[in-house]
Structure 1
Amino acid sequence: MQTVMSAEDLMAFLVAEFDQVANDFIVEEVGGGKIRVRMAVAERHLRPGGTVSGPAMFALADVAAYLATLALIGPKALAVTTNCSIDFMRKPAAGVDLVADATVLKLGKLLSVTDVLIRSYGMDAPVARATLTYAIPPR
């Protein structure tokens, strides 16, 4: 799969289209249908007990899948999530950023399907796994 948007392009897109959350995410690597996105975990992402909330992990999975798709199709702001399944597998490490490794499994004309593994930064065991489907706007 040919990448058409670089990490820098994707970050600029986030700032232009989603400025309200752009500072939460950093595209670390992109290429060949894969992307690594880091979430800078802050107090607003935590739930009682000091762990990262499920909605914050969902946001990371969703942004990673969205950007993985855009890296292959270009800056289509109106690509939208049509389905998501997420499994929360273990508690994230306290006070540590989260990293999502996303892989586009299928890219068609109208849909993309992406698998996302989320880990606490520096740890091997995933804290969550998600599969997301995105609808791609017609050309």
Structure 2
Amino acid sequence: MEIAMDEARLAAFMEEEFPQVAGDFVIESVGEELIVRLKVGELHLRPGGTVSGPTMFALADVSVWLAILSRIGPVALAVTTGASIDFMRKPAAGRDLIARARLLKLGRVLAVGDVLIFSEGEAAPVARSSMTYSIPPKG
């Protein structure tokens, strides 16, 4: 399936539709997999100085949402209907998180994506997530 929205269009759409968190994420590339950077700041840390689970969940969720939009175009109301996340290791302190999202299925009404999350510069993932989205009917 061809790309409907590139990095710039996705970033502009995110600013327009989801400005509350748009500044936290940088869309680095769109292709077979979509790569998103979370700019980790103090707000994202839990006691002990590591990135919180809810922050990693948000990165996974936003990454799959953007991967879907990159294929179907600007559909703000595509929503998460199922999610799971496995936290595999502690993220490296002081480093951004990088999500690598790919779509496993993109149907008319459902999309399923998989995400690996890495600490910047590390080879082993810190988390893995599976997300299912409902795509609203056209029209």
Query: What is the TM-score with the length of structure 1 in the denominator?
Result: 0.98
Shift of 1:83: 0.3
Q: Aligned runs of 1:96-115 on 2, under 5 Å?
A: 96-115=95-114
Q: Which amino acid in structure 2 is aligned with residue 25 of structure 1? A: F
User: 2:15 corresponds to which residue?
Assistant: 15
User: 1:57 corresponds to which residue?
Assistant: 56
User: 2:37 corresponds to which residue?
Assistant: 38
Shift of 1:31: 1.4
| Count of residues paired in the alignment | 138
Unaligned runs of 5+ in 2: none
User: 1:2 corresponds to which residue?
Assistant: 2
User: 2:93 corresponds to which residue?
Assistant: 94
Find the residue that maps to 2:64 and give its secondary structure: helix
User: 2:76 corresponds to which residue?
Assistant: 77
Find the residue that maps to 1:109 and give its secondary structure: coil
Q: Which amino acid in structure 1 is aligned with residue 136 of structure 2? A: P
CA shift digits 1:25-59 (9 cap, x unpaired):
00000013x20000000000000000000000000
Find the residue that maps to 1:64 and give its secondary structure: helix
| CA distance in structure 2 between the aligned counterparts of 1:77 and 1:86, rounded to whole angstroms | 23
Find the residue that maps to 1:71 and give its secondary structure: helix
Percent of pairs with identical residues: 62
| CA distance in structure 2 between the aligned counterparts of 1:128 and 1:2, rounded to whole angstroms | 28
Extract structure 1 runs of 4+ deviating beyond 4 A.
none
Unaligned runs of 5+ in 1: none
Shift of 1:81: 0.3
Q: Which amino acid in structure 1 is aligned with residue 38 of structure 2? A: M
| Structure number with higher strand proportion | 1
Considering only aligned residues, what root-mean-square deviation do their CA atoms show, in Å?
A: 0.5
| CA distance in structure 1 between the aligned counterparts of 2:71 and 2:129, rounded to whole angstroms | 19
Q: Which amino acid in structure 2 is aligned with residue 127 of structure 1? A: V
